[in-house]
Structure 1
Amino acid sequence: MISLICICISWWALQNLKLDLVIRHPKGPQGKLLHLLLAIVLGKFVADFIIQYLGYTHMLRYLF
């Protein structure tokens, strides 16, 4: 669930990214696919970070 939420947030955040500076036709199918893949990769990294952070904070109580 966290991964899906982070992917949606990444998709929303990447809407302001100007892909026309990187690719020729950002509105074409390849541009849309690139946008989708960037959102998935970024969302997955953010979700992994959040899950690891929550795991580490729960393990802090065993440290002391």
Structure 2
Amino acid sequence: MPIITIEITPQDYEKKAAIAKVFTDELSKITGIPKEPIVVVFHETPADSIASAGKMLAEKFKREQGK
């Protein structure tokens, strides 16, 4: 059973469903594995618990929303 693990900031149900569909469809298409045994697991981490390039992701999101 293939397991796809996705680390992501919190997303709503509809977005996670769309992401799961795309990853499942593509993995099945590329590998020939049927979709049924493919599992997608979301690990949601708040932006205030993630840093990139030494800067907190929450700060980046705040700046982008301020534009």
TM-score, normalised with respect to structure 1:
0.38
- Structure with the larger helix share: 1
Larger Rg: 1
- Structure with the larger strand share: 2
TM-score, normalised with respect to structure 2:
0.37
- Larger RCO (alpha carbons 8 Å, 6+ apart): 1
